[in-house]
Amino acid sequence: MKETKEATVDLKSGKSPKTAADFAKYFQAPSLKDAKQRGKEEIKVHYDFTISEEMREIGKGKRYHVRTYGCQMNEHDSETISGILEQMGYTPSEEIEEADVILFNTCAIRENAEDKVFGELGHMKRLKHNNPNLILGVCGCMSQEEKVVNKILKSYQQVDLIFGTHNIHRLPELLRDAMFSKEMVIEVWSKEGDIVENMPKLREGNTKAWVNIMYGCDKFCTYCIVPYTRGKERSRRPEDVIAEVRDLARQGFKEIMLLGQNVNAYGKDFEDIKYGFGDLLDEVRKIDIPRVRFTTSHPRDFDDHLIEVLSHGGNLVEQIHLPVQSGSSEVLKRMARKYTREHYLELVRKIKAAIPNVSLSSDIIVGFPGETDEQFEETISLVEEVRYDFAYTFIYSPREGTPAAVMEDNVPMEVKKARLHRLNEVLARIGLEQNKKLEGKTLEVLVEGVSRTNEEVLAGRTRTNKLVHFKGDSSLIGQYVDVHITDAKTWTLHGEIATKIEV
């Protein structure tokens, strides 16, 4: 078992540091307060990322395992982490027990996400006991919270390395330090770093690919920890995004997902050019890649130019994830969403008018502090009016350091649970009604794999991202197929192959 810096500091000062703040004198530890600052500094883009010859030998003959929690941004970060590890000579290990390096790429969005990570970290004690050379690392959004780092320092001594969301490019050096140091290595920058291009990525499969277009978030919704864990909004240069998409098209990828915490704010941080998300999509739509999606949109920044570009269709699919969070203007105000119910509904009206057959999805929080029955009913009536194809629904979870965490919350948990249940019932009914309209239609499906429950059945997605099951040969995986829909369920469609489309 490794000692932490605690012992060393004890000898020096006679005092025992108990918090991440004390450790910060020796390590780079996080601070949510610092993370809140939004400086005016210009963001630099670095194109010179390399892994030195010496580092490329470090992982030879060793195996790694990355466990990812949370959103697609995190999934994609894990692809970068894996790419770096492979360039260091490591090979992947499906079994966590057989790995020499284990990294937990964590999510901080709700308390239950964090509880899960702490539970799993506890289990790692046994692996560490069996293999003292094992390196166990924690990265991702939870590492940005001092509360989490303190807890790991105090109770999870099996952890060797903690690094933050802005420190991924430092992984080779940090891993080396963790291997050769007796102390827990902590490097978490609370202030965002520059943009680092050209990091290697190990993409999963060769059909669908994620592409970051921007990092961070400046919206500061009062419930949300992301602006603190991911730093200020920083857009990748358009030419870098376009070059990556072109390269993916050349490699034969069939679908890309453009990623950002708030893609509609793309380009707002450019000082030298006036170039927004609509402009970017207008260029991406001319690239020969069959499907382009994006996530996540903030209703506030969804402008008319963007709607106009999306109305061209083509590879820009008619599906938009447009989180509303609440149907009550009063609650939206307390959430600092910066739009009203009426503004949101007007936006939906414009989108529906410009993009026929558009499929809308949402994120909705119930039980925000002080949410009344009437305010919750406004969420239900908005859902009925918009008719989402699906929505991710959550009970509000207080996040320390955010403004909502100190708001008085008089809604009992039982009431929150009942609201969630009721909302899910309404969404399921509408989802089924929407899907029923597709019976008898023939839809283009990108085949993703075999069904989890039946090997003879293939699973794929429509342009609107609906899951379709149909009988077919596994040679069709990665291809576009026309499927005649015969039976619609609440969250899946069932059908049979019509004809194969050449794309």
Q: Which residues are annotated as a binding site for [4Fe-4S] cluster?
A: 71, 107, 141, 217, 221, 224
Query: Residue 70 interacts with ligand SF4 (CB under 6 A)?
Result: yes
Cβ atoms 153, 20 nearer than 8 A: yes
One character per residue 313-342, x = contact with ligand SF4 (rule: CB under 6 A): ------------------------------
Please give the size of the binding site for ligand 5AD, defined by CB under 6 A. 12
Query: Residue 226 interacts with ligand SF4 (CB under 6 A)?
Result: yes
Out of 208, 230, 321, 334, the only residue in the binding site for ligand SF4 (CB under 6 A) is 230
One character per residue 392-431, x = contact with ligand 5AD (rule: CB under 6 A): --x-xx-x--------------------------------
Query: Residue 263 interacts with ligand SF4 (CB under 6 A)?
Result: no
65 vs 110, beta carbon nearer ligand SF4: 110
Residue in the block written with tokens 């936006």? 347
Q: How far is the CB of 225 from ligand SF4 (least distance, A)?
A: 6
DSSP label at 208?
E
Query: Residue 339 interacts with ligand 5AD (CB under 6 A)?
Result: no
SS3 labels along 126-182 = HHHHHCCCCEEEEEEHHHHCHHHHHHHHHHCCCCCEEECCCCHHHHHHHHHHHHHCC
Kind and range of the H or E run holding 106: strand 101-106
Query: Residue 141 interacts with ligand SF4 (CB under 6 A)?
Result: yes
Out of 58, 159, 322, 365, the only residue in the binding site for ligand 5AD (CB under 6 A) is 365
One character per residue 272-311, x = contact with ligand 5AD (rule: CB under 6 A): ----------------------------------------
Q: Of ligand 5AD, ligand SF4, none, which one sits near residue 399, judging by CB under 5 to 8 A according to partner kind?
A: ligand 5AD
Q: Is 115 helix (H, G, I), strand (E, B) or coil?
A: helix
Cβ atoms 324, 368 nearer than 8 A: no
What is the distance of C-alpha 478 from the center of its chain? 23
Q: Enumerate residues 210-229 that contact ligand 5AD by CB under 6 A.
A: 223-224
- Going by C-alpha positions, the residue among 179, 111, 125, 191 that lies closest to residue 396 is 111
Cβ atoms 168, 197 nearer than 8 A: no
C-alpha distances (whole Å) from 79 to each of 94, 201, 297, 465 are 15, 5, 23, 22
Q: Which residues of 261-280 are buried (b: 16+ CB within 10 A; e: fewer)?
A: bbbbbbbbeeeeeebbbbbb
Q: Which residues of this protein are in contact with ligand 5AD, per CB under 6 A?
A: 109-110, 223-224, 323, 325, 363, 365, 394, 396-397, 399
